[in-house]
Amino acid sequence: MGFEYALVHVKYTIPPAILLTQLYRPLFSKLDAYKIVFLITIAVVSTIPWDSYLIRTRIWSYPSHVIIGPKLFDIPIEEVFFFIIQTYNTSLFYLILSKPTFQPIYLRVERHGSDRLWPWYKLIGQWSFISIIALGWSLVKGGVEGTYTGLILIWAVPFLLLLWSLAYQFILGLPLSNTLVPIAIPTLYLWIIDTLALKRGTWVINTGTKVGLHLWDGLEIEEALFFLVTNTLIIFGQIAFDHALSILYTFPDLFPDAPLLPSPLLLIRALLTAVYRWDEDRINGLKEAVTRLKKKSRSFYFASSTFQGQLRTDLLLLYSFCRVADDLVDDAATASEASAWIAKLHRYLELIYSRDEKTDTRISDYVVQNFPPGTQYALLQLPYLKISRQPLEDLLHGFETDLEFTPTSHPINTESDLQTYAHRVAGTVARMCIECIFYDYQCTSTTPSFERDQKQRIIDAGDVAGIALQYVNIARDIAVDAKMGRVYIPTTWLTAEGLSHDSILKDPHGVHVESLRTKLLDKAFALYDQASEAIEELPVEARGPIRVAVESYMEIGRVLRQEGYVVKAGRATVPKIRRLRVAWKALKGRLQK
């Protein structure tokens, strides 16, 4: 009996597990736990018979003085733990690295241009894996020295072949940060540990069944291959899981109301859905939504990567709709053109909320005939079934207020006007986000903890938080808005400072303007303090990400309160490092004061 193998874990595998867990903990969801447990189960079940065979046929062995003693099918318990901890560490590393990527946009319908080559890539990959299996087989059959290599290949490569066949699109198409990097770094790390363990004799590969080549001094080529293929298996497994989730959440027509934790059977069904049944417009709509968010809002783009699964998709689509609607109105050449857009948007809402099977095509015809091509996906893919109609109508009423600004009239005269406006353009957005959260996390009124009153209380608090965000937005954009002929600061406040609309339009800077900006920010933070507690009543998966979204935006307000802030394109911006720090604190559950 000895503790040497156990010490390998204590020194080299458990510390990274703790570190990675700490790092990922604020984002760790039930879905992540499900994925990891699923993969660990497969890893343990599939490795035990193989490893047990290798030990019983003395291809490798463990001196009795390095292991504690208990065994499972002849495998030392430390070794079984290795399968678990390796799968855990590599999986967590993948989860961290792949978080910023919105994977559904990497689905390909394989119908046009270079995408038509993808079935060939699949085939080439399949044949390559089959050839490697054949090579493994011939090594096992042919001679003693290639036995260990052959056994690794005939055990692992059929799984790789299967995972490739199910998820080749993501394996090839995702950014390298989701594929190559999470394979390469854990593999390199395990190669180093293995070198140390083999040198110390913690485990021994017996002579006669190995080729005798070393990757570097102390690292047998078979060991290097073993860790490479096992990490590749783990990452391919994670990618196949995510591929299935992307299919489930991207095509609601094929998989209506996909559950939060889909059963293995449903995951397989998703992976086996023929590509020709995928809705290309959904993918294009999502691609447009991601590009739009990335271009237009750094705060929300950054925050969106902390959301997961269906909710991430829904918020992206909701953002896309709101942005397109706002831009149609703001970019219109004349007030009457802007009014016409609002009228068309009202009509669109009327159509979708009275939709039935017969009117389905009428709706898409209406959009195609009345809106520019670059806006059509955003409109048609609004997740309206999860959102009530009222906040959308109110949002449009908010845009109508924007049109009331003329050289002679100003719609925001009192603080109450300001509050109504902010409720319409931002309180409503908060409400819609919360409705999506309730829907996606299945907080129906039958869930005791989500009784009606509680839901209403959260929505009301969300409204207040939205108003706070809009006050920050107005405080940031005094000069930008003035260029568009708009002054959102209430007339009563201007008069008290000895200012007027005209004076702000002419010169939106100076001491008095700064004092009004401060007043607006003070109100924003007071409202935010009053509302932010309610975030903790949201479903646990949404809390951290929502904190990140609202905190990232409120940080603009904090920047504005400091002297000498950086202005880009006329707007105060939050430096990247500072944004990261805010997000990290928000994820860990801390709101700034």
| Chain residues that interact with ligand LST6JFWI, rule: CB under 6 A | 293, 296-297, 300, 303-304, 315-316, 318-319, 322-323, 326, 425-426, 429-430, 433-434, 458, 461-462, 465-466, 469-470, 473, 477, 531-532, 534-535, 538, 546, 549-550
Using the minimum distance from each CB to ligand LST6JFWI, give the nearer residue, 379 or 430: 430
Query: Distances from the Cα of 137 to the Cαs of 153, 157, 160, 202, 513, in angstroms?
Result: 8, 11, 16, 29, 79
Q: Could you tell me the smallest distance in angstroms from the CB atom of residue 238 to ligand LST6JFWI?
A: 24
The answer to whether the CB of 285 falls within 8 A of the CB of 381 is yes
Closer of 95 and 535 to ligand LST6JFWI (Cβ) = 535
Angle (CA) 6-7-12 rounded to 5° is 110
Query: Smaller CB distance to ligand LST6JFWI: residue 160 or 504?
Result: 504
Neighbour-count burial for 184-195, b at 16+ CB within 10 Å, e otherwise: eebbebbbebbb
Nearer to ligand LST6JFWI, 277 or 588 (CB): 588
- Closest CB 399 distance from ligand LST6JFWI, rounded Å: 8
Taking the complex as a whole, the smallest distance from the CB of residue 426 to ligand LST6JFWI amounts, in Å, to: 4
Specify the length of the chain in residues.
593
Q: Tell me the DSSP string of 190-251.
A: HHHHHHHHHHHTSSEEPTTSS---EEETTEEHHHHHHHHHHHHHHHHHHHHHHHHHHHHHH-
CA distance 254 to 250: 9
Helix (H, G, I), strand (E, B) or coil at 440: helix
Q: Which is nearer to ligand LST6JFWI, 297 or 515 (CB)?
A: 297
Minimum CB distance to ligand LST6JFWI, residue 346 (Å): 16
* Residue carrying structure tokens 């902010």: 422
Q: How far is the CB of 21 from ligand LST6JFWI (least distance, A)?
A: 25
The nearest distance, CB 571 to ligand LST6JFWI, in angstroms, is 8
Query: What distance in Å separates the CA atoms of residue 566 and residue 585, rounded to the nearest whole number?
Result: 22
Quote the least distance from Cβ 433 to ligand LST6JFWI, whole Å: 4
Provide the minimum distance between the beta carbon of 467 and ligand LST6JFWI in the complex, in angstroms, as a whole number. Answer: 9
Question: DSSP letters along 17-29, please?
Answer: HHHHHHHHGGG--
Residue 550 makes CB contacts below 8 A (sequence gap 6+) with 465, 469, 528, 532, 535
Please, which residue, 159 or 300, has the CB nearer to ligand LST6JFWI? Answer: 300
| Residue linked to tokens 């909710």 | 311
What is the smallest separation between the CB atom of 524 and ligand LST6JFWI, expressed in angstroms?
10
Closer CB to ligand LST6JFWI, 39 or 489, in the complex: 489
Q: Tell me how far CA of residue 104 lies from CA of 15, 244, 285, 290, in angstroms.
A: 33, 10, 11, 11
Between 55 and 586, CB nearer to ligand LST6JFWI:
586
Looking up tokens 């394109």, which residue turns up? Answer: 569
Smaller CB separation from ligand LST6JFWI, 246 or 470: 470
Q: For tokens 């920010």, name the residue.
A: 521
- 3-state class (DSSP) for residue 61: strand
Closer CB to ligand LST6JFWI, residue 43 or residue 469? 469
Nearer to ligand LST6JFWI, 227 or 377 (CB): 377
In angstroms, the CA 459 to CA 453 distance is 10
Q: At its nearest, how many Å lie between ligand LST6JFWI and the CB of residue 254?
A: 24
- Minimum CB separation of residue 463 from ligand LST6JFWI in Å reads 8
CA–CA gap between residue 422 and residue 459 (Å, rounded)? 15
Using DSSP's 3-state secondary structure scheme, residue 572 falls into strand
| Smallest distance, ligand LST6JFWI to C-beta of residue 430, A | 3
Check if the beta carbon of residue 303 is closer than 8 Å to that of residue 586. no
Pairing of strands 75-76, 571-572: unpaired
Could you tell me if 86 and 95 are in contact, meaning their C-beta atoms sit under 8 angstroms apart?
Answer: no
Q: Which is nearer to ligand LST6JFWI, 185 or 349 (CB)?
A: 349
